[in-house]
Amino acid sequence: MVKTIDMQTIRHLNLFENVTRVNTRFCLKYDNGIIFCVPKSLVLKAVGRDGENIRKISMITKRRVKIIAKPRGIEDVKYFIGSVISPITFKNIDVRGNEIIITAGGIQNKAALLGRNKQRFLDLQRVVRDFFEKELRIV
């Protein structure tokens, strides 16, 4: 999971740590939003009372912010991808060899997963490659 971190990501991570008092090194960009991954036991602390930490970070960065649990392994792939792409739903996720296959269900779900000019798909593909070191396919 070696990934190059740019200055903007470092700024986001520092802001997150200053506001929430939770240390993390996982900051993702997906669908013009920012997603922070923290250990499952620290999610409630990071969110804050009534989501006040999320609102603070969102007001400062002027972007949507999500805080989700960091996956512990390939067994958490369904929950993790579901958290990243929510509120979009999918029918099923299969892990076959070196590939993760998402079955979208309907044509609208598939279109929502792909996004305009495949931007959401490319973002999700980068996230899956960073966390699980596998390729992503949507059917």
DSSP 56-93: HHHHHHTSEEEEEEPP-SGGGHHHHHHHHHTTS--SEE
| pLDDT value of residue 16 | 97
pLDDT of residue 91: 93
How many Å separate Cα 71 from the centre of its chain?
10
Pick the CATH number of 74-138 from 3.40.50.150, 3.30.300.20, 3.40.50.300, 3.60.15.10: 3.30.300.20
**With b meaning 16 or more CB within 10 Å and e meaning fewer, what string describes 85-124?**
beebebeebeeeeeebebebeeeebbebbbbeeeebbebb
Res 44: pLDDT: 95
- Please say if the pLDDT value at position 1 is more than 60: no
> Based on the number of CB atoms within 10 Å of its own CB, is 68 exposed (0-12), middle (13-18) or buried (19 or more)?
buried
CATH architecture of the domain with range 7-69: 2-Layer Sandwich (3.30)
- Rounded to an integer, what distance in angstroms lies between the CA atom of residue 116 and that of residue 99? 23
According to CATH, where is 3.30.300.20 located in the chain?
7-69, 74-138
Mean pLDDT of the chain: 92
Report how far Cα 45 is from the mean position of its chain's Cα atoms.
18
pLDDT at 106: 86
pLDDT(70) > 90 = yes
Enter the pTM of the model. 0.89
- pLDDT tens track for 76-125: 899 999 999 999 989 999 999 899 999 998 889 999 999 999 999 999 99
